[in-house]
Amino acid sequence: MKNCITLILHWYQEHKRELPWRKDIDPYHIWISEIMLQQTRIEAVIDYYNRFMERVPDIKSLSEISEDELLKLWEGLGYYSRARNLKKAAIHIMEKYDGIFPNHYEDILSLPGIGEYTAGAISSICFQLPHASIDGNVMRVYSRIHNLDIDVRDLKVKKDIKKKIEEILPKESGDFNQGIMELGEVLCLPNGVPKCNECPLKYHCLAHLNGCETLIPRKTSKKEKLEEEYTLFLMKCGKKYALHKREDGLLKNMWEFPNQKGFLTYDEVIEIIPGIQKIELGITNTHIFTHKKWFMNSYYLETNHELSEYQWYTLEEIQESHALPTAFRPFFEYLQKK
Ligand code: SF4
């Protein structure tokens, strides 16, 4: 691995992508981008990041923004607890560190929503501290360089790799962390054939030299996702539509269209919802979360009064100030077109 460090640093200097959060090493910029990048592709994050920075340019403004507006800015990125944790962490930084982002690894790690990966990224990129940030890309590159038949989902393996990399980290720890990660993303591909011919490590990488790069790391079968069925009620009264805040479970405190578990028939819907004047079948949608899969049917309903257990808004009001999770967006778009 030691032989590869300089090669990775040079490759990164020549090939690193121009990204808005790479214009400087301001920890606020790196922090927001790292949280947005979790589970989301770089290309998809750029617009969100720019929009976010325009409205919430610093820690103080993040600590003061209303939750509704914050979630609206986050709408579509998913994992809304991340946005809430950003605000919690910003308040904590204002109170405990006078609004200055902490520059010690343990302090960074103690902030809400920041785990070892993000703490490693921020502390190495912004403060050149000797910490590794280990994600799937790093695990893959590392295991191929050493031709290790490992299970990348094993947390102990991850810990071992972190420790080994930290023993040899160069003083440019931030560039190294970003370099190895980016090399994993663009050359040492997870699916399909890695681009070894273009890789600066091709003469050192044991998996490549042994011709087994596609077999390393070991692929473990993914856990089956839990499947759930829902019926959504797309209710209209006059010009307003019914929304509801989820009380618990997945997407807690997020806006949703009223719904019930299971696929309901016409008769069951008529029995549940009072005052229906019109009912027709709406669209269906399937949404995949990390551990769950939702199958959703819907009914379009017109009612003769606004049922008091829901809140009622026009489509414009929903669009402007209510963050609807991606799972429900197709139903909103269906209502817009209707
Ligand atoms: S030589 Fe191939 S397998 Fe090895 S690190 Fe480079 S891209 Fe990955």
**Same domain, yes or no, for 129 and 240?**
no
**Token pair of 79 as six digits:** 């994992």
Any alpha helices (H) in the chain, and if so which ranges?
Answer: 2-15, 27-37, 42-55, 59-64, 67-74, 80-97, 105-109, 116-127, 136-145, 155-168, 173-186, 206-209, 266-272, 315-321, 329-337
Cβ distance 279 to 301 under 8 Å? yes
Q: Could you report the per-residue pLDDT of 179-230, keeping only the tens digit for each?
A: 999 999 999 998 889 999 999 999 999 999 999 999 898 876 667 789 999 9
* Pair (309, 255) in one structural domain: yes
The verdict on 270 and 197 lying in the same domain is: no
pLDDT computed for residue 242 by the predictor = 97
Report how far apart the first and last C-alpha atoms of the chain are (Å, whole number).
Answer: 59
Identify the CATH number of the domain in which residue 324 sits. Answer: 3.90.79.10
What's the pTM? Answer: 0.77
Same domain for 167 and 231?
no
Answer yes or no: are the C-beta atoms of 207 and 144 closer than 8 Å.
yes
Please check the confidence at residue 124 and state whether its pLDDT lies above 80: yes
Among the three residues 209, 241, 256, which one is the final residue of a domain in this structure?
A: 209
| CA 7 – CA 46 distance, rounded (Å) | 28
**Res 154 pLDDT > 90:** no
- The answer to whether residue 26 sits within a structural domain is yes
Confidence of residue 134 (pLDDT cuts 50, 70, 90): very high
139, 143, 201, 212: which to mutate for ligand 1, most atoms within 8 A of CB?
201
Angle (CA) 40-114-97 rounded to 5° is 130
Clarify whether residues 75 and 145 are in a common domain.
Answer: yes
Beta carbons of 293 and 227 less than 8 angstroms apart: yes
- Nearest-CA residue for atom 5 of ligand 1: 141
On whether both 300 and 162 belong to a single domain, the answer is: no
Q: What single DSSP character describes residue 222?
A: P
Ligand 1 midpoint to CA 196 (Å): 5
Do 107 and 50 belong together in one domain? Answer: yes
Identify the H or E element spanning 228. strand 226-237
User: Which of helix, strand or coil describes residue 66?
Assistant: coil
Residues 284 and 234: their CA atoms lie apart, in Å, by: 12
183 contacts 142 by C-beta, under 8 angstroms: no
219 within domain boundaries: no
pLDDT of residue 188: 97
Task: Say what percent of the chain tops pLDDT 90.
Answer: 79
Is 165 among the domain residues? yes
The whole-angstrom separation of Cα 267 and Cα 124 is: 60
Same domain, 90 and 146: yes
Q: Which of 123, 104, 107, 115 is nearest to 166 (CA)?
A: 123
Going by their DSSP bridges, the two strands 226-237 and 292-303 should be labelled as parallel
User: Tell me: the pLDDT tens digits for 69-105?
Assistant: 999 999 888 888 899 999 999 999 999 999 999 999 9
pLDDT (0 to 100) of residue 3: 80
* Residue 333 among the catalytic residues: no
Reduced to 3 states (helix: H, G, I; strand: E, B; else coil), residue 128 is coil
Q: How far apart are CA 294 and CA 153, in angstroms?
A: 25
Q: What is the pLDDT of residue 221?
A: 65
| From 14, 18, 34, 228, active-site residue | 34
Strand partners, 293: 227, 288
Residue 311 located in a structural domain: yes
Answer yes or no: do 125 and 263 share one domain.
Answer: no
Q: What mean pLDDT, rounded, does the chain reach? A: 93
Report the alpha-carbon distance of residue 74 to residue 79 in Å, rounded.
9
Compute the distance from residue 202 Cα to the ligand 1 centre, in Å: 6
Nearest CA to ligand 1 atom 8: 188
**Residue whose CA is at the smallest distance from ligand 1 atom 4:** 205
Q: Which atom of ligand 1 is nearest to the CA of 140?
A: 8
Domain span at 138: 2-209
**Structural contact between residues 332 and 324, judged by C-beta atoms closer than 8 angstroms:** yes
State whether 235 and 320 are in the same domain: yes
Residue 328 has pLDDT above 90, yes or no: yes
How far is the CA of 17 from the CAs of 47, 118, 180, 183, in angstroms?
16, 20, 13, 11
Residue 225: the pLDDT is 82
Rounded distance from Cα 178 to ligand 1 centre (Å): 16
Same domain, 29 and 116: yes
Instruction: Tell me the CA–centroid distance for residue 290 and ligand 1, in Å.
Output: 28
Q: Contact, 55 vs 46, CB < 8 A?
A: no
- Is 214 a member of any domain? no
Task: Enumerate residues lining ligand 1, CB below 6 A.
Answer: 141, 144-145, 187-188, 194-196, 199, 201-202, 205, 207-208, 213
**Best residue among 146, 187, 193 to mutate for probing ligand 1, ranked by most atoms within 8 Å of CB:** 187
Structural domain tally of the chain?
A: 2
Q: What's the pLDDT tens digit per position in 10-59?
A: 999 999 999 999 999 999 999 999 999 987 888 999 999 999 999 999 99
Q: What is the pLDDT of residue 1?
A: 74
Q: Are residues 233 and 190 in the same domain?
A: no
Residue nearest ligand 1's atom 2 by CA? 196
Burial of 95 (0-12, 13-18, 19+ CB in 10 A): exposed
User: What's the pLDDT score for residue 222?
Assistant: 66
Task: Measure CA 282 to chain center.
Answer: 29
Ligand 1 centroid to Cα of residue 193, in Å, is 10
Residue 148 Cα to ligand 1 midpoint, Å, equals: 13
